Amino acid sequence: MTTVLTADQTAVTASEKVLARLKPGAAGARGSLTVHDPFDGSPLIDVPDHDAEQAIDAVVRADEAGRAWAATTPRHRADVLRRWYELLVANAEDIALLITREMGKPLAEAHAEVTYGSDFVRWYAEEAVRPAGNLREVPTGGARLFTRRAPIGLSVLITPWNFPLAMATRKIAPALAAGCPAVVKPAALTPLTTLFAVQLAVEAGVPADLVHVVTTSDASGFSTAVLADPRVRKVSFTGSTGVGKVLLRLAADNVLKSSMELGGNAPLLVFDDADLDRAVDGAVAAKLRNGGQSCIAANRILVQDGIADAFTEALAERLASVRLGSGLAPGVQLGPVIDDRAVARLSGLVEDATQRGAKLLTGGSAPQGPGTFFEATVLDEVPADADVVTTEIFGPIASVQRFSTEAEAVARANDTEFGLAGYVFTQDLDRAFNVADRLATGLVGINQGVPSNAAAPFGGVKQSGLGREGSGEGLEEYQEIRFYNLALRPTD
295 is catalytic: yes
Q: Which of 295, 375, 392, 469 is catalytic?
A: 295
**DSSP string for residues in 169-236:** HHHHHHHHHHT--EEEE--TTS-HHHHHHHHHHHHHT--TTTEEE---S-HHHHHHHHTTSTTEEEEE
261 is catalytic: yes
Interstrand relation of 4-5 and 397-403 (parallel, antiparallel or unpaired): unpaired
**DSSP string for residues in 2-47:** --EEPPPHHHHHHHHHHHHH----S-BTTBEEEEE-TTT--EEEEE
Helix axis angle, 276-288 to 305-320, nearest 10°: 50
Q: Which of 102, 109, 113, 261 is catalytic?
A: 261
The set of residues, in sequence order, having a beta carbon less than 8 Å from that of 339 and lying 6+ positions away, is: 38, 189, 372
- How far is C-alpha 176 from the geometric centre of its chain's CA atoms? 19
Helix/strand/coil (H, E, C) string of 252-299? HHHCCEEEEECCCCEEEEECCCCCHHHHHHHHHHHHHHHHHCCCCCEE
Catalytic residues: 261, 295
